[in-house]
Structure 1
Amino acid sequence: MASQKLTKLFANSFKLATSDLANQYALPVKSMTGMIVSKYGASKSRRLNEKVVEKMDIGKDDFLFEIGFGRGDAMKMCFDRVKDGRGMVFGVERSGYMNERAIKRFVLEIAETDKIRIDSAVDLRNLPYPTDLFNHVFHVDLFYFLQQNALVNINRELLRVLKPGGTLICGMQFDRLKKLTENRILEENQWDPMRYLWALETAEFSDVKINYHKDPQIGEYQIISATKSTDPLAGQDPEELMKKLAMDMKKERLAEAMMNDKKNFEDL
């Protein structure tokens, strides 16, 4: 009996510890566990961040936007590419702890160059940026923690802030994600790339694809990419466009009729 109680206590303790690790991996908070988990994640994803930044082929005048920047390694890589031009690096992060760490890390760059901007974004479906602003939007180890029913609207918002012809890049590494699944930090369906490809296509991104690459340091890794079409009508259903046009015309005629009625009343 005592042995069974001890086994149950150990199992419950392990479950709680695993749950805490999973929560800290998704949204680090200011604590010893948060510091360790965020450092571990940054060390494991650093090379993948390098490959994602290389993939974007950044110009010195480009405007870049990272979602979920963590400890800011990729933001630093991007800053080094735009610091001598007119470009800027933007980033949003749900974790207040990571946000605080990044602001401290880039305090000089923010004060002296104004080329790094760090924002909080509780809801990625409502970003504080104008339409057609960024040349590139990117993220690493992010979409796994986003709710399925929010993915499409989040990607529609990312599409909005991208310039026509701009690119979205997502970096991931199946082997590392499988290990996290084995350790009960992630569920396999969370990082299934097909759910993200589907969300990008549904949000009306163009040229959505996943490519497999190999690197001598980290082995195989995957890059999901998509673009914002330069044709504002590309990918849209013709019947839906006609319905929208008809509705807009009705609204215009109604507004015109109301204005005429007002003018006729004033002439009486």
Structure 2
Amino acid sequence: MASFIKDALARNLRQPRGGPVGWFVNRYVFENLNRGLEENAVKLCDISKNDTVLEVGFGPGIGIQEAYMKIKDGKGKIYGAEISKKMIQKAIQKLQPQISAGKVELVLADVINLPFESDMFDHVFHCNCYYFWDDQVACVKELRRVMKQNAKMITVLNEFSLKEVNEKGIMKYGNTDPEKYMYSLKKAGFHDVNYLKLKSERGNPFSAISARK
């Protein structure tokens, strides 16, 4: 693979943009490869119909849509924070009815400076996201701030896929090391930090990191 293509892929994984490479990353990675991870992240959150939930780095909105199904008949609400304007545009198209109904709210924001009140969320989740946080401790401290006491945060990843993209040099703008992320969680004050190797209902292996405020 040509070096300029690798670099374009790496940049779009960090912050999705437009163009042919951005289209490929959205369709192949976010829409296809990440779909199962998003679904499993929502399941692990164990969301109730009256919960307030945040997804960070929601991409095209698959996880937001899945989480909405858990609260649609209750008083709950799903929020999403995303740094890519392109992804927000795509997610708004997908989730317009839910947004109009006041059950979903999407914001353009960096995880290190979230526009939410403290002690606001019952659950937080993210998928293939922490790799691109330059200051992981500061970012997870900010996430901890907006979580309610005893709230749980879930992140999901696929070890096989990460190994493959790391070997190809496509993750050069990120750090996928789960131990570094777990260290950051503990340093930020999270407890019950656990690394779980699991399988989806379809039998596909994936990993999850859980942490509680």
TM-score normalised by the chain length of structure 1: 0.76
Structure-to-structure mapping, 1:1-268, within 5 angstroms: 14-42=2-30, 43-111=32-100, 113-121=101-109, 123-147=110-134, 150-187=135-172, 190-215=175-200, 217=202, 219-228=204-213
How much identity, in percent, do the aligned residues show? 32
Determine the C-alpha separation between the residues in 2 that align with 1:98 and 1:71.
5
The alignment partner of 1:186 has SS state of coil
Determine the C-alpha separation between the residues in 1 that align with 2:97 and 2:116.
23
| Structure 1 residues 188 and 94: alpha-carbon distance in aligned structure 2, compared to 1, 3 A threshold | closer
The alignment partner of 1:106 has SS state of helix
Residue 75 of structure 1: CA displacement? Answer: 0.4
Determine the C-alpha separation between the residues in 2 that align with 1:89 and 1:223.
21
| Structure 1 residues 31 and 63: alpha-carbon distance in aligned structure 2, compared to 1, 3 A threshold | same
The alignment partner of 2:17 has SS state of coil
- Of structures 1 and 2, the one scoring higher in RCO (CA 8 A, sep 6+) is 2
Structure with higher helix content: 1
Q: Is the 8 A contact 1:28 1:95 kept in 2?
A: yes
The alignment partner of 1:190 has SS state of coil
The alignment partner of 2:143 has SS state of helix
CA-based RMSD? 1.6
Residue 188 of structure 1: CA displacement? Answer: 10
Q: Is the 8 A contact 1:180 1:186 kept in 2?
A: yes
Match of residue 239 from structure 1: none
Structure with higher strand content: 2
| Structure 1 residues 92 and 189: alpha-carbon distance in aligned structure 2, compared to 1, 3 A threshold | closer
Segments of 5+ residues of structure 1 without an aligned counterpart are 1-10, 229-268
The alignment partner of 2:119 has SS state of coil
How many residues in Structure 1 have an aligned counterpart in Structure 2? 212
What residue identity is the alignment partner of 1:207? Answer: D
Determine the C-alpha separation between the residues in 2 that align with 1:44 and 1:217.
14
Q: Is the 8 A contact 1:178 1:188 kept in 2?
A: no
Q: Is the 8 A contact 1:53 1:78 kept in 2?
A: yes
TM-score normalised by the chain length of structure 2: 0.95
